[in-house]
A and B are shown apart, each in its own frame.
Chain A
């Protein structure tokens, strides 16, 4: 079963707008990562947030983590058409496991 679930499944916005994607998970984690995928092929790592962190920034990306609610959000500010892709959260379970479990993803479309 999926550990992480993204919401929404699909998001359509205009260039310049902000895009927010959410991820919920079920069990305790060591870290949570966000990845981007273009055209159904290889994934690219965007950002990693550890379980003892609450917020991280990288360029136009902002990630938050709320371990009490078992949820994370990815914010892309000032979106561009080139941000159009699928975005996945992945959770690394705590307890010595190194299995990185991916959610179903959010498909983001940014229109010029």
Chain B
């Protein structure tokens, strides 16, 4: 498909387990973002990748969260030792090369809904 693809779409896990969420961005998009959205809330920035630059990890809420982007394409968000407060929809977005002066439109995936029991 031509859009941003995320998997799994739904994940139910037990407290203390590790989870991995995957994002396939649109081919050729150099920027990739992860956001988290709790029920009825806005989007919370987690991490941003741009080309080969060091990622901006300033939004990761704790050291249990990590993300990588292999080969400038697919990204995996890993949450270790999950807690109930990690329950949310995790959204991935990608964007093509920077416009003059900064990022333009983001293209979002449908998200991965994580439920921690």
Q: How far is the CB of A32 from chain B (nearest CB, A)?
A: 11
Interchain Cβ contacts within 8 Å, total number: 67
Known: A42-B109, A44-B108, A92-B102. A105 touches B42 (CB 8 A): yes
Task: Report chain A residues within 8 Å CB of B59.
Answer: 99
Q: What class of interface size applies to chain B in its complex with A?
A: 20 to 34
Asked whether any CB of chain A lies closer than 8 Å to the CB of B52, the reply is no
Contact present for B106 and A99 (CB under 8 Å): no
Interface size, chain A (Cβ < 8 Å): 26
Interface centre among B93, B105, B111 (most CB of A within 10 A): B105
User: Which of B11-19, B43-51, B62-70, B71-79 has 4 or more CB atoms under 8 Å from chain A?
Assistant: B43-51
Q: What residues make up the interface of A, taking CB atoms closer than 8 Å to B?
A: 2, 30-31, 33, 35, 40-45, 48, 50, 88, 90, 92, 94, 97-105
